Amino acid sequence: MLRMQNLKKIYRTHLVETHALRDFSLEVGAGEFVAVTGPSGSGKTTFLNIAGLLEEHSEGLYAIDGVDVRGLSDDARSRLRNEKIGFVFQSFNLIPDLDLFDNVDVPLRYRGFDRAERRRRIEQALGRVGLGSRMKHYPSELSGGQQQRVAIARALAGEPKILLADEPTGNLDSVMARCVLELLEEINRQGTTIIMVTHDLELARRARRNVHIVDGQIVDLDASAPRVAARREAAAPAA
């Protein structure tokens, strides 16, 4: 699903070069649920941005769903983002001027679906996160947890192969955080690959696989290869 090999990301400003990712190799298979942890500034968001095609990497190889993204045009990257990737952000990032229906509609319009198809998907996605009855509400009328569920519905409506979440529970209290995580787990069970950055080790432990990043590198070498199904089954009861 996602393959990174000897990836480097260097931020150059006029004063310093920051090696945000160095010699970064990771493979994530279809259907995995990966939790990414690490200290602040270690490169978690950088990794997620590159994985989600929000930023370009400096060196190395990155392929998503078999497509090598090196040298793709900005438009091609946008299309790939739109079709294969769903985003969930720490601060929800709903559009305040639009009601829930129109918020979930945003990526679907960019996709070019017709009206009926969009409506079907919006109703289904909002139904799936338990907000089917509030389509005409505005984000400001919802709690944080509800907003994040709308954001998840928005990410899911396009039926992405992979869902990327950067601290999706970071702005939520622990009850709401658990709720959101359960939703993500449920989505993962239905087949969507999920990579989630989190500071919450308890939440991370619930994921089937943990990747720990320190100083732009994965520290647990064991974690850089996908686990075979048998080991995943074995690990699950322990979590």
Partner 1 sequence: MRKSPILAALLQHKVAAGLIAAQIALTLAIIANALYIVIDRTQLMARPSGVVEQELFVLGLTPEGSAEQRRAELLADLDAVRRVPGVVGAYLTNSMPLSGGGWSSSVVLGPDGAGGAESNTALYMVDETALGTLGLNLVAGRNFEPGEVQWHEAEKPLRPDVVIITQALAERMFGDEPAVGRMIGISGVRGEVGSRVIGVVERLVTPWTDWGRFGKSTLIPVRSDGSPRIAVRTRPDALQQTVKAVEEALWARNPQRVVDGLRTMPEMRAEQHRGDRALVFIMIAITICLLAVTALGIVGQASFWVTQRTRQIGVRRALGATRGQILRYFQAENAIIAGFGIVVGVTLAYVVNYWMAENFGADRLPWFYLPIGAAIVLLLGQVAVYAPARRAAAVPPAIATRSA
Give the whole-angstrom CA distance, residue 218 versus residue 46. 13
Q: Which stretch binds partner 1 (CB under 8 A): 26-34, 45-53, 124-132, 216-224?
A: 45-53
Q: CA nearest 88: which of 36, 52, 123?
A: 52
Residue among 28, 37, 46, 183 that touches ligand ATP (CB under 6 A) = 46
Task: List the single partner that 74 binds among ligand ATP, Mg ion, partner 1, none, CB under 5 to 8 Å by kind.
Answer: partner 1
Whether residue 129 contacts residue 183, with contact meaning beta carbons closer than 8 Å, is answered with: yes
147 binds partner 1 (CB under 8 A): no
DSSP states of 136-201: T--GGGS-HHHHHHHHHHHHHHT--SEEEEESTTTTS-HHHHHHHHHHHHHHHHTT-EEEEE-S-H
Task: List the single partner that 126 binds among ligand ATP, Mg ion, partner 1, none, CB under 5 to 8 Å by kind.
Answer: none
Phi, psi at residue 83, to the nearest 5°? -90, -35
CB burial class (10 A; 0-12, 13-18, 19+) of residue 96?
exposed
Residue among 53 and 131 whose Cβ is closer to partner 1: 53
90 binds ligand ATP (CB under 6 A): no
- Shortest Å, Cβ 45 to Mg ion: 3
Q: What share of the chain is helix, strand, coil (3-state, %, to 5)?
A: 40, 25, 35
Give the whole-angstrom CA distance, residue 226 versus residue 12. 32
Q: How many residues form the binding site for Mg ion (CB under 5 A)? A: 1
Residue among 42, 45, 169, 217 that touches Mg ion (CB under 5 A) = 45
Q: Which stretch binds partner 1 (CB under 8 A): 32-40, 81-89, 188-196, 227-235?
A: 81-89
- Chain residues binding Mg ion by CB under 5 A are 45
Q: Where does this chain bind ligand ATP (CB under 6 A)? A: 11, 13, 18, 20, 38, 40-46
Instruction: List interacting residues with partner 1 (CB under 8 A).
Output: 45, 48-49, 52-55, 74-75, 78-79, 81-83, 87, 89-91, 93, 95-99, 101-102, 105-107, 109-111, 154, 158, 166
